[in-house]
Structure 1
């Protein structure tokens, strides 16, 4: 009887696919140079009736390959979603604009009405933005809702081109009675700086439809922050504002505090590592206290905030009954200040909502008091000189190297947080270790555990760097996986069966209707899975399903002999015990 139940469940899982109308080649790591290399892909695209979404990420496409795929898209009128991140690794900069142009031209010819464009992690610089400029201005983008350009190295020039294209799209679509209503904009790690941010702010203000804005780590100072603050006031439905790791200083923080007064729908505010300082934090606290009724997360970490300002922030969230997290770590509270803050939150019965204070910098010395006026004067006096031009040339060289797969090193003097997205895009043991002691938390925060498929993908990427002989790497992998899956299986909405299904599809043990190609299975995948099935957070009913598939002969597991046998033995033992 139990065997029949497992068999029925296995059949059900085997039929589970991704969203209807989606064709995926995600994460196959293929190098596709010419038309011949994508013949099978082109045929599948042509034969797919009602194609709405195409996932090309995690492969690398040459100009001819992109042109062949574009030809197949010319008849796909129902097409909506371009999931095209990380698709030019190893390509010359000159290859990217024509590849993007051909794909964009095809969608325009098809009469598509796009809702999602994701070109993140392509490091294509300003030229890459030029490659999508025509598409962004076209009727195909009048319906665009999500634009994701994270980690593309657009620079100031690219930011200006993008802003102009969005402005033109809004004007043309408005003339036809259906103005562009972009809801999500993602452009972290793009070197936009003040001029790029200011140009985009003007486009944001014109649209007034944004619900999520993510622009972390862009080198934006108070002039750019102030421009964004003004723009945000005109986006009344904004729910998420993430400007982490830019430099507000007092002027920018106060301007943003004023903008927040107009945003009653805001739920997540991430101004961590933004140097908001005591005056800025106090201004933000005042705004929070007076409004923001559905605030869920407030991050003011690493902002040189002192005890008095931190306590003002804590008091401001007192009546926020939807608050889930307050982060004031890495500020200047001192031991007594940390205790006072914790006591304050406990007294308000919100102690469990306060994040760790383990990185507190201690009370500032008198001679280290911040002088925003001095900082601002220095910023205002900055002019483009030979040194800045040299830096721009170096950035262009970095973009070229990044596309060619050259490992870039960040100078020790550069203040950059550990890059989880880079690890998840291109996993390596070294990258995992460099995430530091907080790697598990950082990964847990990066992955959307509400999505079982994404969670399965993240699990396999982490597990792929597992090294049995390297105890540091092994422990880092298992620690990260445990944190991720504990959070996932502890989330009420998480679909455990969908996770197992996605895992089996990605491992090549079952086929999926969405034609997702499996990953190359390595011993680390199986060693990590063997660890997971023995943990309390992993549902025992899922062990039976895994055992049913792992016991079959499968070519995908042939290269992992010892790891396969060990996992099978563990699954059988746990199955028998249950």
Structure 2
């Protein structure tokens, strides 16, 4: 099932007697839930004596299937290319970390040395990086040249976790792709520190990440340490005047830079002029420059054109310049620009369109000032949350703002979950709580309310026999009510993980009202029941295994007493 793969071919070229081979299941739209479902892929891997690449793009992979594939990978140390993009469609995001972890463990066991890892278009968010951390820190990625993480929903937290994983052992990446991830200033700054240490980057693409001039400045400092940089794509971030000046300061050290994409970056005239000066002063010879839709005035646009075409030995016809969506002036101006730039220039969005007049010459000075003010104010949005603290604490608060706690016996118990308040609900407390919560309409609020109520009761598990019985009755009710809601699987897993202190809550104003040791004891008593979803069971066990060392001592001991909470073949400290 071999297919064209440039990286594998490059490897083969260095070994003339070696042919390119591998397994490619891309675009099959297979739904792989069980070990049996994964058998065709396992058989293909086992029958490939020289597995240089594995492509699973465009299928959907569950935990059990991932484990089966990982087992097959343990026998292939020759693996160089892993294309795992768009591989978890329809999966709850908490299924993805254990699946990724399993695949990584298979490659680690084999002693593989990857040159390319592609996990794009998998919306696993920050917790997905947890599943990747061990792999990224291992020697499997010791020779990694390309890391592609486009459209993963990393956010600031994911950016920081990724930077931490990459910095554990010095990496020498050539290609780093991480567009559409909302990294913002903090995530970009964390990665910039790692880039400084690398010094080997040739291509960086981080479009649509909400990065403002603070993050752009950090990245620019890192680019100075990567003189081999050839391609830079920061499209649809807010570079502005300050960010453009930071990049301009870096350009003298980037003699190999051939392609720049700063489209939709709010450069305005001030930013464009800063870049124009740098292009001209440093005789930059680009093959491609995209500054489209930046509210650049016609005077500044002309400065860009003059800067690009100014070197006496430069062949302007060889540089593709995109200035569409800016104020280029009238027909005469555009003709002058096209004469200088050549027919490859893109000066409007559509054929014959002259509707790109966004900024007038008289507005250029004021728009530059406004740009600075917008940059300064916008950075506050990127600093809205401090997610750099330890990822797990012994207790995690959940936001219960969607639950209306009226002053009834149930409301009183949910607010103060004591044995006395639980006793007031009587022997049918589980049904009473269920009746109280069913009036909540919003799915996310309803699931959160049932999880919190279950944990409030479970927290008393070790101190109150009645609480133990009620919690065991509440769990099937919780899972039943959650299962009736849209997108329930990931909402339920996410809420339970937060309530159990296994992932960090972004809301710092709330504090838990339940005891974690009791919650783990209660969970251990029901997790293997037939009504408990297997995917949720695997997800909880995975996070318990990975976070056990940082839980509080009482909580840790409660987990250790519940063997049902432990992953198979997992050793606990």
1:158 aligns with 2:153: no
| Distance (Å, rounded) in 2 between the aligned partners of 1:17 and 1:251 | 43
Counterpart of 1:559 in structure 2 is: none
Aligned residues of 1:190 and 1:217 also touching (Cα < 8 A): yes
Aligned partner of 1:329 among 295, 307, 324: 324
From the superposition, tell whether residues 59 and 313 of structure 1 become closer, same or farther in structure 2 (CA, over 3 Å): same
| Distance (Å, rounded) in 1 between the aligned partners of 2:487 and 2:303 | 44
Shift of 1:248: 0.8
- Which secondary structure does the structure 2 equivalent of 1:261 belong to? helix
From the superposition, tell whether residues 403 and 345 of structure 1 become closer, same or farther in structure 2 (CA, over 3 Å): farther
Counterpart of 1:531 in structure 2 is: none
From the superposition, tell whether residues 404 and 208 of structure 1 become closer, same or farther in structure 2 (CA, over 3 Å): farther
Counterpart of 2:470 in structure 1 is: none
Pair member with larger Rg: 2
- Which secondary structure does the structure 1 equivalent of 2:94 belong to? helix
Query: After TM superposition, which residue ranges in structure 1, 4 or more long, deviate above 3 angstroms?
Result: 14-19, 361-369, 380-386, 400-405
Shift of 1:317: 1.3
- Which secondary structure does the structure 1 equivalent of 2:37 belong to? helix
Counterpart of 2:77 in structure 1 is: 77
| Distance (Å, rounded) in 2 between the aligned partners of 1:102 and 1:256 | 40
Counterpart of 1:187 in structure 2 is: 178
| Distance (Å, rounded) in 2 between the aligned partners of 1:33 and 1:146 | 29
Shift of 1:22: 2.1
1:354 aligns with 2:345: yes
From the superposition, tell whether residues 72 and 212 of structure 1 become closer, same or farther in structure 2 (CA, over 3 Å): same
Unaligned runs of 5+ in 1: 1-13, 171-179, 406-578
Aligned partner of 2:360 among 341, 361, 364: 364
Shift of 1:316: 1.0
User: CA offsets per residue over residues 512-540 of structure 1, 9 Å max, x none?
Assistant: xxxxxxxxxxxxxxxxxxxxxxxxxxxxx
Aligned residues of 2:82 and 2:117 also touching (Cα < 8 A): yes
TM-score (norm 1): 0.61
| Distance (Å, rounded) in 1 between the aligned partners of 2:214 and 2:35 | 48
- Which secondary structure does the structure 1 equivalent of 2:98 belong to? helix
| Distance (Å, rounded) in 2 between the aligned partners of 1:40 and 1:147 | 27
User: CA offsets per residue over residues 396-430 of structure 1, 9 Å max, x none?
Assistant: 99xx999999xxxxxxxxxxxxxxxxxxxxxxxxx
Aligned partner of 2:220 among 219, 229, 234: 229
From the superposition, tell whether residues 402 and 297 of structure 1 become closer, same or farther in structure 2 (CA, over 3 Å): farther
Shift of 1:126: 0.3
1:140 aligns with 2:136: no
| Distance (Å, rounded) in 2 between the aligned partners of 1:160 and 1:112 | 26
Aligned residues of 2:63 and 2:96 also touching (Cα < 8 A): yes
**Which residues in structure 2 correspond to 1:127-526 (within 5 Å)?**
127-170=127-170, 180-291=171-282, 293-318=284-309, 319=311, 320-321=314-315, 323-334=318-329, 336=330, 339-346=332-339, 348=340, 350-357=341-348, 358=353, 360-364=356-360, 369-370=366-367, 371-382=370-381
Shift of 1:343: 1.4
**Which residues in structure 2 correspond to 1:488-567 (within 5 Å)?**
none
| Distance (Å, rounded) in 2 between the aligned partners of 1:353 and 1:289 | 20
- Which secondary structure does the structure 2 equivalent of 1:206 belong to? helix
| Distance (Å, rounded) in 1 between the aligned partners of 2:163 and 2:137 | 11
| Distance (Å, rounded) in 2 between the aligned partners of 1:162 and 1:191 | 13
From the superposition, tell whether residues 383 and 125 of structure 1 become closer, same or farther in structure 2 (CA, over 3 Å): closer
- Which secondary structure does the structure 1 equivalent of 2:95 belong to? helix
| Distance (Å, rounded) in 1 between the aligned partners of 2:151 and 2:135 | 20
Shift of 1:92: 1.1
Higher fraction of helix: 1
| Distance (Å, rounded) in 2 between the aligned partners of 1:262 and 1:403 | 51
TM-score (norm 2): 0.61
User: CA offsets per residue over residues 160-212 of structure 1, 9 Å max, x none?
Assistant: 01111111120xxxxxxxxx210000000001000000100110111011000
- Which secondary structure does the structure 1 equivalent of 2:100 belong to? helix
Name which structure has the greater RCO, CA cutoff 8 Å, separation 6+.
1
Shift of 1:287: 1.5
User: For the aligned residues, what is the CA RMSD?
Assistant: 3.1
- Which secondary structure does the structure 2 equivalent of 1:326 belong to? strand
Counterpart of 1:11 in structure 2 is: none
Shift of 1:353: 2.5
From the superposition, tell whether residues 403 and 123 of structure 1 become closer, same or farther in structure 2 (CA, over 3 Å): farther
Aligned residues of 1:21 and 1:53 also touching (Cα < 8 A): yes
From the superposition, tell whether residues 292 and 49 of structure 1 become closer, same or farther in structure 2 (CA, over 3 Å): farther
Shift of 1:333: 3.0
Aligned residues of 1:42 and 1:69 also touching (Cα < 8 A): yes
Shift of 1:351: 2.6
Count residues in correspondence: 374
Aligned residues of 1:93 and 1:124 also touching (Cα < 8 A): yes
| Distance (Å, rounded) in 1 between the aligned partners of 2:363 and 2:279 | 31
From the superposition, tell whether residues 223 and 403 of structure 1 become closer, same or farther in structure 2 (CA, over 3 Å): farther
Counterpart of 1:48 in structure 2 is: 48
User: CA offsets per residue over residues 107-132 of structure 1, 9 Å max, x none?
Assistant: 11111111000000001100111111
From the superposition, tell whether residues 404 and 246 of structure 1 become closer, same or farther in structure 2 (CA, over 3 Å): farther
Counterpart of 2:112 in structure 1 is: 112
| Distance (Å, rounded) in 1 between the aligned partners of 2:486 and 2:232 | 31
